Amino acid sequence: MNKSSIQPRLIVHGGAGAISRANLPPEAYARYASKLRSVNAETLGLLRDGTTALDAATHAVRLLEDCPLFNCGKGAVFTRDGTIELEASVMVSKGYRKRGCGVVLIKHVKNPILLAREILVRGETDSEGGHNDDGIDPSGGTGGAQGHSVLGGPTVEALARKWGLDMVPESHHWTKKRWDEHKRQLLQSGLPNPNWTQNPKWPPEEDSWDGREYLPQGTVGCVALDRSGILCVATSTGGLTNKLSGRIGDTPTIGAGFWAEEWCCAQMVVNRQPRPQSPLSAIVPDGLFDVWADCMPTMNGGYNTVPRNLPLDEKQRSASSIRSYRAVAMSGTGNGDSFLRTAATRTAAAMARWSGQSLATSVQEIAGAGGELQRSAGDRWDKTSEGEGEGGIIGIELVNGVGRIVFDFNCGGMFRAWTDDLGNERVMVFREEY
């Protein structure tokens, strides 16, 4: 694979769910589209300038975390108790020991995606006990991330402070629309109001929620391919509206809401060698002898095949095999519990890897109409307020040095932005143009 010729690719999403033209009027769509378009353009520009996939993907998600339109960071949904509990994750196809990391139960970190990134990067110097051979904590203090891939709550927020990430009061993440959504849904479900420990005060210019406008319920995510051929997926969310405090979703769970990997394919090759002379060749015409010999293996020693599925150990690899690489990365959005039950993104990757089919086909079979996510809901499909089984997946597949954008969803819509194969900027929410 000639890595210098790899063209960077990028796709971002802003959540999926029961989106329709009725609850997403043109002026609302324009706001979402404008933000997604700017994030896509800015981040793709960074990739083209040589930024790594890790830095690009986390940059894109950070921009979305800072935007109150989306269910992550500022603008995240509330728990049933009227609190904020954020989640984020990052994973690379190769290049870091931990490969993937997640953070959960975040309240005071401004950008959870940057905390997930820190755990991944600092994992290069973590030892199993959190200290190096000299007994010095490589994170710069006592109690580093050790070898852990997923951390949450006060422990990981203390690490964020130590590492110099921006810390904010929990109220930084609040918006009036989400608070209205929180209280309205409690009332509609017949649940008692919790004993709120806070009474938010909103700026007079901040908009209320009318109960009809669509508010994104899924995650935000980005998949990036850089010039070196590395894929990275970054994902962030506030979770489900009025979830129970302490609930952990698919976003920080490796293999459920996100996945990235690379593998080596050893293609079968046929080595044509001179056929040994047979006494019959003197009396049988060449063409007829070839047909006869092909039908009689004992007479044809001229072809040696190399098995298709070879060990990855370089020393065991046949000198006659041709190595090619494939890599995939995906970010999911939708009902997180359905993604957890189906291990959705890892399942899609495994289908692509072990069956040889394209990632686009695998994603369709998981997240498309009638796919595994929808089937997992059984007779509850389209009947629960949480949208059981609903969701979508975005991703990039790298095959022979060429990146391919993929996505599919089984619900009303999925906010997404990318630059297509012809270089055109695309922003869509439905299957058809808005």
Q: Is 334 annotated as a binding residue?
A: yes
Q: Is 132 annotated as a binding residue?
A: no
Q: Is 286 annotated as a binding residue?
A: no
Q: Is 347 a catalytic residue?
A: no
Q: Is 298 annotated as a binding residue?
A: no
Q: Is 371 annotated as a binding residue?
A: no
Q: Are 240 and 249 in contact (CB under 8 A)?
A: yes
Q: Is 237 annotated as a binding residue?
A: no
In a 13 Å sphere around the CA of 58, the CA atoms on its Cβ side amount to: 24
The catalytic position among 219, 241, 251, 345 is 219
Hey, which residues are catalytic here?
A: 219
Known binding-site residue numbers for substrate: 247-250, 333-336
Known binding-site residue numbers: 247-250, 333-336
